[in-house]
Amino acid sequence: MIKALLGAAFALSAVGSASAQTLNMMKGIDAPHYDAQRTTWGPTSDIVNMIQDTLVALDWDGRTPIPYLAKSWTVSPDGKLYTFKLRDDVSFCSGKKMTAEDVIFTFKRLKSPEIKGPYAWRAGNIKELRAPDPYTVEYELNEPYSELLLQLTMFTNAILNKDNVEALGKDYGVKGADGTGPWCLESWQPRTNITLKRHDAYKWGPSMYKNKGPVKFEKMVIKIVPEDSSRVAAMMAGQFDTTHQFPSQFIAQAKVSPMLTVTEAKPNFQLLYFGFKTTRPMVADKRVREAMSIAIDRGAIAKAILLGNADPAFTIVDAAALDHDPKTAGIVKQDVERAKQLLDEAGWKPGADGIREKDGMKLAPKVYYTANANSARVAEAIQGYLRKIGVHWNLQPWDSTIASVKMAEQDYEIWSVTVPYLSAGDLMNIYFDSANIPTPNRMNWKDAETDLWLKQGRAALTPEDRAKFYAMVQQKVMTEHLWMPVLNINMHEVTNKKLKGMRPHMIYQNTFYKGLDASF
Amino acid sequence: MSVEAIGSAVVDSAAVGRSHVLRRLMRDKVAATATVVLSLIVLGAIFAPLISPYDPYFTDLTIVMQPPSAEHWFGTDNTGRDILSRVIYGTRNTLMLGLIGVLVGGLLGGFLGILAAFYPRLDGWIMRLVDVMLAFPAILIGLAVAAIFGAGLAAVVIALVVATVPDVARVARGAAVGVMSQEFMEAGRAVGVTDSTLIWRYLTLNCISTIFVFLTLRFGQIILIGSALGFLGMGAQPPTAELGMMAAQGRDFLFMAPHIATIPSLAIFVIVLAANLLGDALRDVLDPRLQQ
């Protein structure tokens, strides 16, 4: 089988013959466009992080914003005014110098009704943007936003070239996208390949990299290879230098392969969870939700289903993430007998076929998820566990092309997604604020206390206050068992051994991030 | 000639050799083997709950991807389920899908084909409809149905029926046109036999053996299409065992545990081969032209 796959890999279009100055990357999926402000789409974000930069970068620890296009900043005592001092030596790939005008244009565009930026909230509630001089930006908010700097590291807040966006109009992100990043977008053949070239003037790499720029390669060719087995074979045959989309079930093979190196992003916040729609009668009772959550063996699922490429998640927020509340650690503990007892107490009694019933209704919740390998396998494993306590999960995987539409219909009791996040506040503000009902608050969780604490956390002026309010939210949503956290999925960068200096980043599954230290 | 006389002539003609079918099948070694294998498979599927060594839905994550052993003859899958038990239950579902596809599709297709032959004014309309149906590959229909209504056995059944109808309609029409030119049909009309009696009693009964032979040949293909849809995730959903889906689940573990994908694939191979061989043999036995 391995020989056959290797043979198939050699038959793939030859990229190995390309120049040694070309870095060959492989992705499993392409993006519909590369306009960062109009999407939440991961396949857009990794390319955007290569070709464009943010005011602040996220350090390797996944929680510290560090200077990038902004060399320094100050925050007013009321937490509403951020004054960013920009570097004066930054230019776009087109050669134009980056100034405060581009920064202000970027955030005004992000907030404009025409763009309808799905992640516009990450830039805070902006009152006014001012440029006292070409390299100073005054960023004034209507209310304090304690996580603004952390959120500004996200790809959706990358700084755009005003002239380029205006010149391209609706074609921006499709026919071109200028940026200040270490790589420049040269060409894009949708669903086939993306070619980037070195940004020769780039010398403003963030302090987390040894190399401040430019990158060590003249070009990067990113080829789209959707089939898992083909990506495995191509990497093992040395056809590509790196990929961050190596199927998890083959990671063990990659680790022992003489020509591949596997590196894991640490820390890494990428939660695979199942959420309960609390307005559906079948899962409205928190005892039912808790029963399902404590009936599964997360350690066994991580080991057997993800083959060790995930860690069991007993809390919604990972212990290494900013503002994680350690008190939530003991809320979810596997206890099958207690799970059965909870269901008995909730009035669900075993039927003739072993599946519990109540008022003529079987405890068979509909479970929606996108049909990718991890979700499907994990859902099936949980289904097996829950049968043992008399619950039948009625699994309904949806193809990725239609999953978002079906999820939006909300005809389910439970759904699952895998979500990368930055911090406790990042995760909880998105999912648990009642303002976000029906989506992304798919639990339809409407709770005045939760909303108040989230607001207080967002507006906190000190890290201690922020942590306190977000801890209260974590305890609330965990004891209500609104989510069943299952796994924290590992992120890997698999590279050819000849490629040195690769350290995977955790931000939004963009392990390559800027790739400044990579070299042969 | 009375109606009864016409009827008895037709039925006698259709019944010729029927009592010898089984004996003639058994005389052909290949056909006999296929019959025995398929019978065993069908019996295994019917009595699945009695012969399965384990609960096919029982997961045990401590024994995932175990190779074949004395405890688990076909090994275990990626959630620690016994593959032999799942193959037995999967065969049941796969056969059921094939059977429903062939029976419902055969019924609809046969009805359309016979109507087209009997009523020339409908012939053009029905055959163009059949042409349109032939233009859609079954896999595409299955994908479309599953995308709209969700993956499941219903999507597969619809796809299989749609895949069966046009071919059967063409075959039935061809057979019926031949029967229509027979004297007893003209005689029936002459003595005032109603259309419904002519269609059912004379036309349909005389076409049944042709349609039946075609459906037996088609059965193997239908099972393959059903399994392909299962493989693509459009068919049975977990934990239901279905051979195509089981093969797909094993695909991701080909390096580590090749038995997870290969055993259900082999089961599909054996079923389809046996069905095709039996179909060929039945055609040889039932088709009077081949007998000559």
> Which residue in chain A has the smallest CA separation from B81?
A384
A-chain residues near B242 (CB < 8 A): none
CB contact at 8 A, A459 and A293: no
**Cα–Cα–Cα angle for A109, A171, A33, nearest 5°?**
85
Contact B151 A250 (CB under 8 A): no
Q: DSSP per residue over A440-491, as a string?
A: T-TT----HHHHHHHHHHHH-SSHHHHHHHHHHHHHHHHHTT-EEEEEEE--
Letter for the amino acid at A363? Answer: L
> Which residue in chain B has the smallest CA separation from A368?
B150
Q: What is the pLDDT of residue B202?
A: 87
Q: What is the pLDDT of residues A101-122, one digit of tens each?
A: 999 999 999 999 999 888 999 9
Using an 8 Å CB-CB cutoff, list residues of chain A that contact chain B.
1-2, 228-229, 247, 249-250, 252-253, 297, 300-301, 303-305, 371, 373, 376-377, 379-381, 383-385, 387, 395-399, 401-402, 406
Look at residue A261 and give its three-state secondary structure.
Answer: strand
CATH of A42-167, one of 3.90.79.10, 1.10.3210.10, 3.90.76.10, 3.40.50.10170: 3.90.76.10
- Separation between Cα atoms, residue B157 and residue B162, nearest integer Å: 8
Residue B252 is nearest to which of A373, A381, A398, comparing CB atoms? Answer: A373
A-chain residues near B253 (CB < 8 A): 249
Residue B61 is nearest to which of A247, A300, A401, comparing CB atoms? Answer: A300
> Would you state the structure tokens that stand for residue A494, as one six-digit string?
């698999």
Question: How many CB pairs (< 8 A) connect A and B?
Answer: 73
pLDDT band per the 50, 70, 90 thresholds, residue B291: low
**Which residue's entry shows tokens 């195509």?**
B244
> Which residue in chain B has the smallest CA separation from A392?
B239
A-chain residues near B151 (CB < 8 A): 396-398
Sequence-separated (6 or more) residues with CB below 8 Å from residue B78: A304, A305, A377, B64, B65, B249, B250, B252, B253, B257, B260
CB contact at 8 A, A486 and A301: yes
Using an 8 Å CB-CB cutoff, list residues of chain B that contact chain A.
57-59, 61-62, 64, 78-81, 146-147, 150-151, 233, 237-239, 251-256, 258
Contact B147 A402 (CB under 8 A): yes
Domain spanning A1-28+182-267+491-520: CATH superfamily:
Periplasmic binding protein-like II (3.40.190.10)
Q: What is the pLDDT of residues B37-95, one digit of tens each?
A: 999 999 999 999 999 999 999 999 999 999 999 999 999 999 999 999 999 999 999 99
Q: What is the pLDDT of residue A401?
A: 67
Domains of chain B: 3-10+20-46+83-291 (1.10.3720.10)
Residue A384 is nearest to which of B59, B62, B233, comparing CB atoms? Answer: B59
Domain ranges of chain A: 1-28+182-267+491-520, 42-167, 270-489
pLDDT of residue B15 exceeding 80, the answer is no
Interface confidence, given as ipTM, is: 0.72
Q: What is the pLDDT of residue B1?
A: 42
Contact B252 A228 (CB under 8 A): yes
Q: What is the pLDDT of residue A71?
A: 98
Residue A396 is nearest to which of B61, B80, B237, comparing CB atoms? Answer: B237
Contact B150 A253 (CB under 8 A): no
pLDDT band per the 50, 70, 90 thresholds, residue B288: low
- Separation between Cα atoms, residue B138 and residue B42, nearest integer Å: 25
CB contact at 8 A, B157 and B223: no
Q: Give whole-number Cα distances, A140 to A84, A104, A107, A127, A133, in Å.
A: 11, 11, 12, 5, 16
Closest CA of chain A from B80, distance in Å: 9
Residue B59 is nearest to which of A247, A381, A398, comparing CB atoms? Answer: A381
Q: What is the pLDDT of residue B292?
A: 54
> Which residue in chain A has the smallest CA separation from B258?
A1
Q: What is the pLDDT of residue A18?
A: 40
Q: What is the mean pLDDT of each run of 10 residues along chain A (520 residues)?
A: 48 44 93 92 93 97 96 97 98 98 98 91 96 98 96 97 97 96 96 96 97 96 90 93 91 92 94 97 97 97 93 96 96 97 97 95 94 86 96 88 80 94 95 92 96 96 96 98 97 95 92 95
**Which residue's entry shows tokens 């219903």?**
B154
CATH 3.40.50.300 fits A270-489, yes or no: no
Q: What is the pLDDT of residue A281?
A: 96
CB contact at 8 A, B282 and B213: yes
pLDDT band per the 50, 70, 90 thresholds, residue B17: low
Q: What is the pLDDT of residue A459?
A: 94
